[in-house]
Structure 1
Amino acid sequence: MIRGPARSPRGVLALLAVATATGSTGLAAGGTAGALLGAELGGSSAAAGFPVALLVVGSAGGAMLVSAETGRGRRGRGLALGYLIGAAGAIVVILAAAARSFPLLLIGSVVLGVANSSVFMARYAALAVRRAEGGGLALGAVFAGTAAGAVLSPLLLGPAGAAAEAAGLPGPTGLYLVAVVAFGLAALMFMAASSPRMPLLGRAAPVLSGPGVAAPSAARVLGGLRGHRARTALVTLAVANFVMVALMTVAPVRMMGGGQGLEPIGVIVALHVAGMFAPSPISGHLVDRLGAHAVLTLGWVLLLAVSLTGLLVSVHGTLAMAIHLLVLGVGWNCGIVAGSALLAAAVPGGLRPHAEGAGEVVMQLAAMLGAPVASLITAAAGYPAYSLAGACLSLGALLYCHRSRRTE
């Protein structure tokens, strides 16, 4: 039985938000620092996308791990295990930087990515708190909690980089040191929160642990994902993540090539991350009030606009790049919050853990493709060339979602 404040869904959501905020402090290690370290160890800006691409391979594997544990009634254990594996990956990357080994960096990036799936899949635990009504707002509340750590993470690029350089390591390695601590603490918090005997944190145990459900057949899972709403959700999660990850893979490298230092890059990335997570209570509330499709449309309009402005924005302009990447984050947020809520509502309860895992795998596979593609296109033809490709993808997804809505 849940006692005390956690009888209220708000108490459980607060616990989930704090644990996820802790883990999300390590997010910038694989994204921002991974791209910079990849360019340094790989000897070319074209190599920046490969650590990010392999990071999302690990994230896809982590999503399967977490969804499998959720189906067995061990959601909290799955999230904790993902964080522990990710912390081990951060240690491997630090060793790769010390040895100046690009192949070892790629191996560590795969293992590190498992923790990223734990950061993002905690949003579905929020939907488990409130399924019937207010689900979008609950998802947004936990997603917004992610903002605290995720915004702090790139801001540590400069200070952590100075500490890493003092130890004789490349500057971007500093964020991997942060990730070891952040992922380790998050793992301990989710393990504690999964035990009803644990004071305070154990109040979230009914959400994070409980009786599992029989594993459905692959045919049943695929059948549940063939409906219009489920397909629209999967397209949204995939394309929104493709556009965002691709742009954010090349933007820090291009800014550094344009003369920007680590600290201003860290501030700009922090603003982008704030755009990714901070609006979540608002976008979640809009999903509950207006419906997921309305929020999806808003997201695609923003992603289309930011891609088009990428044709004109200069990597040398700090303010212009800050606004450009902030709007990119807000557009991504609308797509992911609405797409996640739509996906969870589109399938029966017994299929939800597997649908959640499928949605996360689709997101990560899209990002895995987007990161190296954006790096290669930008290296060959410049930042505006990929911006045009992102605009075409966003417009196509907008038209697809509109058509799907009309056929329901």
Structure 2
Amino acid sequence: MSPYRRTLAVVMFSQVFSGAGLAAGVTVGSLLAAEMLGTTSLSGLPSVLFTFGSAGAALGVGRLSQRLGRRAGLTAGYVAGALGSAGVVLAAVLGSVSLLLPALLIYGAGSATNLQARYAGADLAEPRRRGSAVSSVLVATTFGAVAGPNLVAVTGRIASGWGIPALAGPFALAAVAYALAAVVIFALLRPDPLTSALAAASAPADEPPTGGPGVVAGVATMVLTQIVMVAVMTMTPVHMQAHGHGLSATGLVIAVHIAAMFLPSPLTGYLVDRVGRTPVATAAGVTLLAAGLVSATAPEGSVALLTVALALLGLGWNLGLVSGTAMITDAVPQRSRAKTQGAADLGIALSGAAAGLGSGVLMAATSYAALSIVGGLLALAVIPFVAAAGRRQPDPAATTGGRWSSRP
């Protein structure tokens, strides 16, 4: 098995565990906070803490990976996620809010590392295969992310049997899952894909000529699609509840949305590699506009149309993430790639936090329809960024066999 295929297999295996760790805790975080704080007014606090913890960890994991390799960076991130999860469980047992809050912050490191792992999949990929490499890692995450929420009830019963609050059970699962992901990466991610890629890219011809327009376009694509996705997704359950839809209908809409965020990844990766980064990023903006228009015009009682809208929202995000990741990986030299990728994910996390907070304010001041339309129009801002980059930097899909090379 080639180093490239081995790396991809190991990272995908670890993502099954980390996806479960991410989804299990996030599913009940707000409920646990409400129970321990004695009020629902601060139940959104875990999401804020997850996000800021994820933002800080994204930068840290990226810098550590640049200095010591992906194996060290990803292992450290998953260990931090496991410790944060265990801290939440301990806080629940002790009834300690002062321990709960920093533990939730540290728990966010697992989320950041889960997202950073997609870059490891692309480290040894040839430029023409980077989209497929990234998409493979994202699909692997789906299996764990689907299993995690479905184990909430089981882990709650097990936790109760051990004298642990039921809502802390999923965080115990997250601690185990993140620890297993760390073990897989530490034990099996050899040779390190980033250090191997650095060694293979020692000749000037192996390095992309500049990091400017491609980085700007890649970051803009991922940040803008993240803002639109988070803003509309966050307010959709609120909109549905306000118009009499039950939890089952809301759960269906969100489940379809999450599936659309990850399951199309193989097709997205194929298109990024064969059609090009720029066309797929442009399609992300157009798809998100369509999502905004459908959600804005859907009748209040139509679960079917809201489901279509949220599926388009998830698909648009997926198109933006895979194409944006490929653009950044193409544009940045190996010697600074991981650090730049970490900074990009910091921007994604912070923009998501801002979108989550701002969406409620905008909807309260206007309406869900206005929020959806504004989001759809904002997504079109992706197009000028990628068009400008496309004029200044070649797209590997259009220059297969060109002067950039990476040895798998």
TM (normalized to structure 2)? 0.81
2:383 is equivalent to residue 393 of structure 1: no
2:47 is equivalent to residue 61 of structure 1: no
Between the aligned partners of 2:44 and 2:154, the Cα distance in structure 1 is 24
Instruction: Give the letter aligned to residue 190 of structure 1.
Output: I
Quote the residue 1:205 is aligned against: 191
1:117 is matched with which residue: 105, 112, 119?
Answer: 112
**Distance change in 2, residues 1:383/1:106 (3 Å):** farther
Q: Which moved more, 1:159-168 or 1:112-121?
A: 159-168
Between the aligned partners of 1:381 and 1:164, the Cα distance in structure 2 is 43
Between the aligned partners of 1:186 and 1:105, the Cα distance in structure 2 is 23
2:312 is matched with which residue: 307, 324, 327?
Answer: 327
Instruction: Give the letter aligned to residue 287 of structure 2.
Output: L
1:295 CA drift (Å): 0.5
Q: Which moved more, 1:282-291 or 1:136-145?
A: 136-145
After superposition, the C-alpha distances for 1:292-331 in whole angstroms (9 at most, x for unaligned) are 0010011111111112222244786554443332221111
1:387 CA drift (Å): 2.0
1:260 is matched with which residue: 221, 246, 252?
Answer: 246
Contact 1:66–1:118 (CA under 8 A) maintained in structure 2: yes
Quote the residue 1:283 is aligned against: 268
Quote the residue 2:132 is aligned against: 137
1:286 CA drift (Å): 0.8
The gaps in structure 2 that reach 5 residues or longer are 200-208, 394-408
2:59 is equivalent to residue 73 of structure 1: no
2:339 is equivalent to residue 348 of structure 1: no
Contact 2:225–2:317 (CA under 8 A) maintained in structure 1: yes
Q: Which moved more, 1:244-253 or 1:122-131?
A: 244-253
1:165 CA drift (Å): 7.7
Between the aligned partners of 1:210 and 1:84, the Cα distance in structure 2 is 24
After superposition, the C-alpha distances for 1:31-53 in whole angstroms (9 at most, x for unaligned) are 443455556758456x4544323
2:236 is equivalent to residue 246 of structure 1: no
RMSD between superposed Cα atoms in Å: 3.3
**Distance change in 2, residues 1:104/1:31 (3 Å):** same
Alignment of 1:146-295 (within 5 A): 146-157=141-152, 159-160=154-155, 169=165, 171=167, 173-194=168-189, 204-207=190-193, 225=211, 227-252=212-237, 258=244, 260-261=246-247, 265-295=250-280
Instruction: Give the letter aligned to residue 193 of structure 2.
Output: V
1:360 is matched with which residue: 345, 368, 389?
Answer: 345
1:162 CA drift (Å): 6.4
2:295 is matched with which residue: 283, 303, 310?
Answer: 310
1:141 CA drift (Å): 1.4
**Distance change in 2, residues 1:77/1:61 (3 Å):** same
1:407 CA drift (Å): 6.4
Instruction: Give the letter aligned to residue 186 of structure 1.
Output: A
Between the aligned partners of 1:388 and 1:165, the Cα distance in structure 2 is 45
The DSSP-based 3-state class of the residue aligned with 1:293 is: helix
The gaps in structure 1 that reach 5 residues or longer are 1-5, 195-203, 214-222
The DSSP-based 3-state class of the residue aligned with 1:123 is: helix
**Distance change in 2, residues 1:77/1:407 (3 Å):** closer
2:285 is equivalent to residue 300 of structure 1: yes
Between the two proteins, what is the percent identity of the paired residues?
34
Instruction: Give the letter aligned to residue 307 of structure 1.
Output: G
After superposition, the C-alpha distances for 1:211-241 in whole angstroms (9 at most, x for unaligned) are 979xxxxxxxxx965x222111111111111
Between the aligned partners of 2:263 and 2:319, the Cα distance in structure 1 is 11
Contact 2:134–2:269 (CA under 8 A) maintained in structure 1: yes
Between the aligned partners of 2:306 and 2:314, the Cα distance in structure 1 is 12
Contact 2:157–2:166 (CA under 8 A) maintained in structure 1: no
Between the aligned partners of 1:165 and 1:254, the Cα distance in structure 2 is 34
1:379 CA drift (Å): 5.0
1:158 CA drift (Å): 5.3
Between the aligned partners of 1:407 and 1:7, the Cα distance in structure 2 is 33
2:77 is equivalent to residue 92 of structure 1: no
Between the aligned partners of 2:253 and 2:261, the Cα distance in structure 1 is 13
Contact 1:49–1:372 (CA under 8 A) maintained in structure 2: no
**Distance change in 2, residues 1:183/1:250 (3 Å):** farther
1:142 CA drift (Å): 1.7
Between the aligned partners of 1:322 and 1:160, the Cα distance in structure 2 is 29
Between the aligned partners of 2:240 and 2:97, the Cα distance in structure 1 is 22
**Distance change in 2, residues 1:287/1:42 (3 Å):** farther
Quote the residue 1:13 is aligned against: 8
The DSSP-based 3-state class of the residue aligned with 2:296 is: coil
Contact 1:49–1:374 (CA under 8 A) maintained in structure 2: no
Instruction: Give the letter aligned to residue 139 of structure 1.
Output: V
After superposition, the C-alpha distances for 1:263-285 in whole angstroms (9 at most, x for unaligned) are 66555433322211221121111
1:108 CA drift (Å): 2.8
The DSSP-based 3-state class of the residue aligned with 1:26 is: helix
The DSSP-based 3-state class of the residue aligned with 2:191 is: helix
Contact 1:241–1:366 (CA under 8 A) maintained in structure 2: yes
**Distance change in 2, residues 1:290/1:191 (3 Å):** same
The count of residues paired between Structure 1 and Structure 2 equals 381
Contact 1:75–1:208 (CA under 8 A) maintained in structure 2: yes
**Distance change in 2, residues 1:211/1:386 (3 Å):** closer
**Distance change in 2, residues 1:366/1:42 (3 Å):** farther
TM (normalized to structure 1)? 0.81
